Chain A
Amino acid sequence: MPIKISKKFKAIYWIEKSKEAFNVEVKKSIVEKIKDLIMKGISPVKGRKFQKYSEGYLAAIKRNKGDFMGKPSSPVNLHLKGDLLDSLKAEGGKEKTIIVFRDKKAPWHNDGMGNLPERRILPNREGEDWHLVLKVYIKNALQKALSLYFKK
């Protein structure tokens, strides 16, 4: 039945296309959304909150000089010069997307180091997951990608 075969191929073709579109959409927007959440003081890791700034750091923010100029004392957003958040990238091919921070300070924050408290910015430990806000966002991106091909 040639018609059946052609329909089957068409469906597979559109599923592949949707997958590609989803990956493009995710790569484009997930990085921006993670940055957006961190800038608002929301950890992208499920169940985690960013600890408050220390009194010494708050005092530096209040002095409003140098790198601290214009920085708000709240929310806690891991943003000073912007190196850390600018280093966030989505990498990988068609099949998967890898989210990675390239800045050396990322593990210092993510795992805590010296006087820096742990502020989780990537769910890279066993049992950890992305925050549901991000998952809902990704689901919306998927729906958007699918609707490009299946609502026509």
Chain B
Amino acid sequence: MPINRKEVSRTIVIKRPKDLSEEEYDILKDEIGDYVVAAILDKLGDGESPVEGEEFKDLTEKYAKREKKGKTKPNLELTGDMLRSLEYVPTDRGIKVGIFDSSQVDKAYGHNTGFKGHPNEDKLKKYKRQFIPETKQDFDGDIERGIDAIIEDFIDAYQD
């Protein structure tokens, strides 16, 4: 579940429900992946972190005036390229959600870690805006509940 300079991602283990075929299990992974990506964007659009217990600091007025037409609510969208590259990939036991595009990983790493390793880390760390959970963290409760609801509905549908 790495947050490093090569990828910023979180693995979500999805236990294969019994009675589901391999093909159905793959569909379930896609459903959850599609959901989690949109749920992260949904939270970010509200200026909230999708990571449990994390909060986003407002943009400085100076920055907001220069780059965001005065809006101080942070949504991690400037050109849109980083969040556009947010995606999921299926794995053997679930999915991995995050930023894998090498042209966007540095930005994502900086936001998620508070610019760890940056020459101006001390000044920049207050602008940490984490949107991918570390190994010991969870997604926000709404997202976790959403994942559970999808699994529940999926099993119901395939048992009918």
Contact = CB atoms under 8 A, between A and B. Distances in A.
Nearest to B46: A40
Interface in B64-91: 68-71, 75, 77-80, 83-84
Interface residues of A, number: 25
Contacts, number: 71
Contact of B38 (A52, A69, A76, A132): A132
Interface majority SS (helix, strand, loop, mixed), chain B = helix
B45 interface: yes
A74 B78 contact: yes
A75 B83 contact: yes
Q: Which of A70, A71, A75 has the most CB of B within 10 A?
A: A75
B38 A133 contact: yes
A73 B31 contact: no
A40 B42 contact: yes
A64 interface: yes
Nearest to A58: B79
B35 A132 contact: yes
B35 A42 contact: no
A52 B80 contact: yes
Contacts of A84: none
Interface string B7-28: 0000000000000000000000
A41 interface: yes
A37 interface: yes
Given A72-B69, A75-B77, A41 B35 contact: no
B146 A133 contact: yes
Contact of B42 (A37, A74, A76, A135): A37
Interface of B: 31, 34-35, 38-39, 41-42, 44-46, 68-71, 75, 77-80, 83-84, 145-146, 149-150, 153
